[in-house]
Chains A and B, each alone.
Chain A
Amino acid sequence: MRRSTLSLLLALVVLLLAGCMPALTPTPSPPPQAKPSATSTPQEPLTVTYPGRDWGYPSPFGFYPRGPGYIRMSLIFDTLVWKDEKGFIPWLADSWETSPDGLTWTFTLHPGVLWQDGQPLTAEDVAFTYAYFQKHTTAFKWCASLQDVDTIKAQDQQTVIITLKKPLAGFLADVAGTVPIIPKHIWEKVQDPAKFTSPEAVIGSGPFKLVQYSKEEGRYIYEANPSFFKGKPIIDRLVFVKVQDSALALKTGTVDAATFWGKEIEAVQKLLQEEGLRSVEGPSFWVLQLIFNTSKSPLDQPAFRHAIAQAIDRQKIVEQVTHGGAIVANLGIISPKTEWYNPNLPTYKYDPSKAREALQSLGLVGAKFTLLTTESFAREAELIKADLEKAGLQIEIKTGDRSTVDGLLRKNAFDLAINGHGGIANPSILDNPVWPASCYHNERYNELFAAQAQAVNAEERKKLVWQLQELLAEDLPVLTLYHPKMWCLYNPQVLDSWFYTAGGVDGGIPLPLNKLVFLAR
């Protein structure tokens, strides 16, 4: 073959170095493409390849605490409940009950679930898991929610009883549906879980087993777990590879599916026209917002923030920057694609002359502010600057890298800042509307938030979440700008079952990588 002759020269040099490369990992056998026999190809393993990068070792303590890292872990580990495109469904727990006061939760586990090493999964493991995560704060992703768990008891092999210190409205979403259950017989010996990276650390009960992980190449290879309690997955192998350009990788067939969002809408449209690809659209549960430093005068005056809101044409930002790849944001932060969304909020229609009048009456025409942003949102910043200068303010844009902006926000060292975050499918996110800054203080807001967090009744909680959104839209500690859309483009010949999970996987991960995609349903 031509490629091998081309490579032969360099191969000699490489051979030398290859000697000092440790055998990367046990290579899964047999390699799928290396079966040329035309007569007997009864079962070519079905492999799905997806782009990604290194998100850490997929053990509950090893993954980098972000959405894609959680996804990689969730393929191996299961939770008590899980979500499909409509909402919560039974998972390790077949059923659950709450006491009327909302303080006691009883879960009945599915019988006969096995760990990937063959040991049975029992209520003991669940009880151990919760206690273990409470003790080891390095798994901080779940610390905050687990703090409210008082006791956890394995009543018998299949029944777990959890008591809470106070009612937790989001218990299913924030605890039962997100904390991965780990095997007691492995982890009880582990003192420092953050440094436990042996192969045993990735023994779970889930539909996939990890067979290869290469940190520097950002590569994960999973194989189907034939004894998974919900049945063997419909694919044999799931592979994540690092590619620089997902569109190019889809085109060349290097990957079978990939996601795109917001500004990438043009690439999506082009790919859909050219190639035999299909797409599903989903919400990103992500919001870009203009944060006001409400602890600083004159930004502490709601009237001033209202004037700024009227001065900024949010529709124009959506059109010019995202080319329609986003929708104008809900001023109450929560994603419009959720059950919590309050559609009756004021919108502060774009009205530059009114804004200017308001600024004049406040005596703030000509006042000078800095606008902090990362390079990724420089165009949004330019448009906002132009709008605000038209209304009579002076704006100086300051750009920094992500961590710098983050650090400045945390110190509340800014006037105006453009920052975005996800998770807006879950009302818990409203805890701090100006995250990661901490400049907003409003007693009534805090009371409302605490009340909804403990509301046992769903209708009552919804009412309170609506009031929170109203308060946000009135008081305007942040001016939300837009919610991007997301698309998963895939090759239907390889796998056709991609979907977006209700409210996102886990607490709001906007990826189509729910393990249910790979299971027969």
Chain B
Amino acid sequence: MRVAQYLFTTLIVLSLNFFLPRMIPGDPLSTLTGDPSADMPILLTDEIRGKLLHYYGLDRPLGEQYILYLRNLARGDLGWSIYYKTPVAALLWKHLRWTLLLMGSTMIIYLSLGSFLGVLSAWHRGSKLDTGLLLGIFGLGSWPSFFTAMLLIIFFSVKLNLFPIGGATSIYTSGNNLTRALDIAHHLILPSLALVIAYLPSIYFLTRNATLSALGENYIRTARAKGLSESLVLWRHTLPNVFLPLITMIAMRLGFLVMGAITVEVVFSYPGMGTLIVEAFAARDYPVLQGAFLLITMAVLCCNLMAEILYNRLDPRVKQQ
């Protein structure tokens, strides 16, 4: 039953991925043949235009293109990018690995830090620590992320000259793996920091609220009345109930792992998925758009599935239903 549901969703999304980009005005050829901001337009005769459309298979009826798309997809072939002139799968992987690195490291930091601070804040509700955290994180979270990113660049890269102003690697790195890793990390710190600052508040507030509401429950009062130690109250009775909303949130957030963070990527010229999707959209590069959206859909569906499974394990009530 569940499997059928997931399959059905996938099919719908696949079709949307195919038809939506094609419904927007503009076509891949028009962006291929002239960007007014850069140089002269290329004047295409109808004959050559026809040949090009034929070469990319864009002259066939939409239904036929759709079936061809599905058939290729079934064979694991994501197609050939019209704008980037390269296989879509390879292109996606080149960007995906950077996004996984950036979003992965960011996520580990903000999830652990955010939930830790959230529990801390709730546990010491009303104290100076709580108020301080609340105000501080609320303040940080109200900056738009591209603005934080630019401030970080101006301060750490231009004024202090500690970090590069953008990119993912240096132009020259000597061959050995450790120096390369150091170099990649060096480029990763600022964008990662900008994203941690941007994403921290939501997870912090969620954890704080969940913890507070759990702490207000009768079973906590009972636990305390039983004379359990405070750490037992926290670990055994409070936190398990905080996990549930947290997991929903994390599962939703995991989708971002493959989507990238457009604004921060742009400010740091970081070669992630966000930049790719924006560019491919501007170029109306249908195969790349289809591939990228497919990837995101798959990631989100997988995360959903994982969350469901985890829920079953963590919350016996779900299983009984």
Contact = CB atoms under 8 A, between A and B. Distances in A.
Check if A and B associate: yes
Interface of A: 2-4, 6-11, 13-15, 17-18, 20-21, 24, 27-28, 31-34, 49, 54, 56-57, 61-62, 64-68, 70, 137-138, 140-141, 143-144, 147, 194-195, 197, 214-219, 221, 239, 241-245, 248-249, 251-252, 254, 285-286, 376, 400-404, 406-408, 410-411, 419-424, 426, 428-429, 431-432, 435-436, 504, 506-510
A66 B38 contact: yes
A410 B104 CA distance: 43
Contact of B171 (A3, A194, A239, A435): A239
Interface in B176-207: 177-178, 180-182, 184-186, 188-189, 192
Given A241-B171, A243-B166, A407-B27, A423 B39 contact: yes
A27 B40 contact: no
Contact of B181 (A14, A27, A421): A14
A194 B25 contact: no
A505 B43 CA distance: 18
B94 interface: yes
6 closest residue pairs by CB, A with B: A423-B40, A67-B39, A407-B25, A403-B26, A407-B26, A31-B172
A267 to B, nearest CB: 15
Interface in B2-34: 24-27, 30-34
B167 A401 contact: no
- Counting chain B CB atoms within 10 Å of each CB, which of A24, A34, A64, A138 scores highest? A64
B127 to A, nearest CB: 30
Contacts of A141: 42
Contacts of B172: 27-28, 31-34
A268 to B, nearest CB: 17
- Counting chain B CB atoms within 10 Å of each CB, which of A21, A31, A218 scores highest? A21
B188 A14 contact: yes
A221 to B, nearest CB: 7
B95 interface: yes
A216 B284 contact: no
B76 interface: no
Nearest to B82: A194
B209 interface: no
Contacts of B188: 10, 14
A304 B165 CA distance: 52
B36 A422 contact: yes
Contacts of B276: 216
Contacts of B180: 18
B185 A11 contact: yes
A141 to B, nearest CB: 6
Contacts of A17: 97, 100-101, 104, 184
B91 interface: yes
B167 A217 contact: yes
A4 B182 contact: yes
B266 interface: yes
B165 A248 contact: yes
Contacts of A67: 38-40
B169 interface: yes
A215 B94 contact: yes
Contact of A244 (B48, B192, B267): B267
B91 to A, nearest CB: 7
Contact of B153 (A248, A419, A504): A248
Contact of B185 (A10, A407, A428): A10
Contacts of B31: 402-403, 406
A24 B215 CA distance: 52
B151 interface: no
Nearest to B43: A431
B319 interface: no
